[in-house]
Structure 1
Amino acid sequence: MASYGNRDNATENSLGKALKTIRKARGLSQEAFSKVSSRTYLSSLERGLKNPTLSKIDELCQVMEVHPLTLLALAYAGRRELDGADEVLKKAGQELRNVLNETDIV
């Protein structure tokens, strides 16, 4: 199985930390998500107490005006440095091309 950084980066709270980082970078309060999520649920996500569905990730990212892959890349990068996120996205892009080529979907 492929590795995406050290094991510490894959902790259950990395998605929550990434969500909070992007939310704050966008200048959004938890209340700004009221059409797609309660403040309590969003707080639980940010603290790693709950795990969102892909549908919920998409809704949250629409509020933040970022692509869901941006959130996931930041979560897997495990840090705020651009190099870590770029590395994750580069690897994912290569793997996606390989999968599509292997399955003749392209």
Structure 2
Amino acid sequence: MTAKNSLAAALKTVRKARGLSQEAFSDVSSRTYLSSLERNLKSPTLNKLAELCEVMEIHPLTLLTLAYAGESTHQADQLLAQVRQEMEAIQHLLDAK
């Protein structure tokens, strides 16, 4: 499963886990648009993703981690460790300039 397909599933999973209806997103999105995201017919922009996550009261990285790692906390730990290492490597390169 690709991350794009997983993002649709992650969005629906978090929305349902939070007990939110598609209508709960009406301030940031139409029900039709949210439905098309959850059915993987459209892909959100980063700004739209942030707005949706605000409604669900989670950080966008949480949703992306769920999309990439699924519900496996072990895979999530590995992914977040990789992100930390990559951020440190980028910071090291910036500091060297």
1:19 to 11, 28, 31: 11
Matched, 1:82 2:82: no
Matched, 1:43 2:35: yes
Distance (Å, rounded) in 2 between the aligned partners of 1:84 and 1:28: 26
RMSD over aligned Cα atoms? 1.4
What letter corresponds to residue 58 of structure 2 in structure 1?
A: V
- Deviation, 1:38, is 0.5
Contact 1:13-1:46 at 8 Å conserved across structures: no
In the alignment, structure 1 segments of 5+ residues that lack a partner are 1-7
Distance (Å, rounded) in 2 between the aligned partners of 1:11 and 1:62: 21
- Deviation, 1:82, is 1.5
What letter corresponds to residue 92 of structure 1 in structure 2?
A: V
Q: Can you list the C-alpha shifts for 1:34-56, whole angstroms capped at 9, x where unaligned?
A: 00000110011011110100000
TM-score normalised to structure 1 length: 0.84
**Length, aligned pairs only:** 96
Q: Which ranges of 4 or more aligned residues in structure 1 deviate by more than 3 Å?
A: none
- Deviation, 1:80, is 1.3
- Name whichever structure is richer in helix by fraction: 2
1:59 aligned residue:
51
TM-score normalised to structure 2 length: 0.91
- Deviation, 1:12, is 2.6
Distance (Å, rounded) in 2 between the aligned partners of 1:26 and 1:36: 17
Contact 2:3-2:67 at 8 Å conserved across structures: no
Distance (Å, rounded) in 2 between the aligned partners of 1:11 and 1:55: 18
- Deviation, 1:13, is 1.4
